[in-house]
Amino acid sequence: MSDPTLADAINRSQHHGLIARITSQQIFWVFMAAVFACLALTILTDSFATERNLFNVTRNFAFVGIIALGMTAVIASGGIDLSVGSTLVISAMTVSVIMSAGMPFWVGCLAALSVSMLVGAINGVLIAYAKMPPFVVTLGMLSIARSLAMVLSDNKMIYEFGPDHDFLLWLGGGATFGLPHPLIILIILAVITAFAFRQLRWGQHLFAIGGNENAAVLTGIPVARIKVSVYMFSGLMAGIAGVLEVGWLGGVTTNLGQAMELTVIAAAVIGGANLAGGGGTAFGAVIGALLIEVIRNSLILLGISTFWQGTFVGAFIVIAVAFDRFRQEKT
């Protein structure tokens, strides 16, 4: 560049030093907490660092992580999606019912993902065009989608999946190169989501809407369309997790994914998604989900009653938000 001062202005940023920059990120501390918890568990118990347990942990957190990617998009755009647990079950039921009727996997999967996106689209239209509060709309959907899943399956357990039965179980429960498939899919989806957040106009616009919706409107961003797409994205992520979870469990009942929304929101928020809108990363959602699963697993291994789980998840949400507050006051 010919003009050195201009080049300097372009490249300079407020952050000085890499270390200061990294340690100012909430996600760094969350990651350290997860690493610390893993180390402590390895020392305190002989059951944590076993291959079998680690396999379970990675697979379990993958489901929460996948949905947390969608939740992060919704939260970053200034909304909330309480219907993800119900979207997961309606997706799981759709693929199960279709496959148990003798159809191939791809038909069931396509239908399940379409239904999930439709759920998201309905949420999005009511929120963006009818201007209803996201909390109310998705709370209603939480009830409706689960009830429809019960209607669809007649509330029976399904565990026969027709000709592609083995494929479905391999997809959700199997592993390649020692990595459980849900984890592999989580990694792929996280990379795609990170790319979309950072590199696409879609990402720019959704963060702009979350930051200052009024400004987004005034600068001509198609706010309503973007909002609908964000809820559809969230629905799609829950739908993918639903299909995978059926394969992992080898059967599905209508209480699948109950109260899951809270864990997912906790994962997103712990990972740095700002409930006031405008902040969040794909990587953060994954790390947040990981920390929650490690804590959950440690409660079990340390012989602490699983009744305590809710206390931990709830406390985490509050602590993460408090942390964010504290950081904002400081700057």
Partner 1 sequence: MNVLELKNISKSYGAIQALRDVSLAIEPGEVVGLMGDNGAGKSTLVKVIAGNFAPSSGDILISDQKTVFHKPLDAQKAGIEVVYQDLAICNNMTAASNVFLGREPTRKIGPIKIVDYAFMRKRSAELFARLKSETRPRDLVHRMSGGQRQAVAIARTLLSDAKIVLMDEPTAAISVRQVAEVLNLIRQLSDHGIAVVLISHRMPDVFEVAHKVVVLRRGELVADKKASDSSPEEITGLITGAIETA
Site string for partner 1, 207-226 (x = CB under 8 A): xx-xxx-xxx-xxxx-----
Specify the residue, 14 or 305, whose C-beta has the smaller distance to partner 1: 14
Alpha-carbon span 93 to 155, nearest angstrom? 10
Task: Return d(Cα 47, Cα 167) in angstroms, integer.
Answer: 31
Applying CB under 8 A, among 2, 4, 9, 330 the residue interacting with partner 1 is 9
Q: Which of 199, 184, 196 is nearest to 73 (CA)?
A: 196
Tell whether residue 279 is a contact of partner 1 (CB under 8 A).
yes
Q: Which stretch binds partner 1 (CB under 8 A): 93-101, 123-131, 202-210, 316-324?
A: 202-210
Stretch that binds partner 1, among 79-87, 173-181, 196-204, 241-249 (CB under 8 A): 196-204
Nearest distance in Å: CB 283, partner 1: 17
**Cα distance between residue 172 and residue 213, in whole Å:** 39
Residue whose CB is less far from partner 1, 214 or 305: 214
Q: With binding defined as CB under 8 A, does residue 2 bind partner 1?
A: no
Q: Is 331 in the site for partner 1 (CB under 8 A)?
A: yes
Q: How many CB atoms lie within 10 A of CB 11?
A: 8
Q: Which CA distances in Å does 289 have to 107, 211, 253, 323?
A: 30, 24, 24, 18
**Closest Cα partner for 58 from 197, 180, 167?**
180
211 vs 251, beta carbon nearer partner 1: 211
Q: How far apart are CA 23 and CA 234, in angstroms?
A: 30
Choose one: 47-55, 63-71, 238-246, 273-281; the region binding partner 1 (CB under 8 A).
273-281
Closer by beta carbon to partner 1, 145 or else 206: 206
Phi and psi for 179 in degrees, rounded to 5? -100, 130
> How long is the chain?
331
Residues that bind partner 1 (CB under 8 A): 5-6, 9-14, 199-201, 203-205, 207-208, 210-212, 214-216, 218-221, 274, 278-279, 331
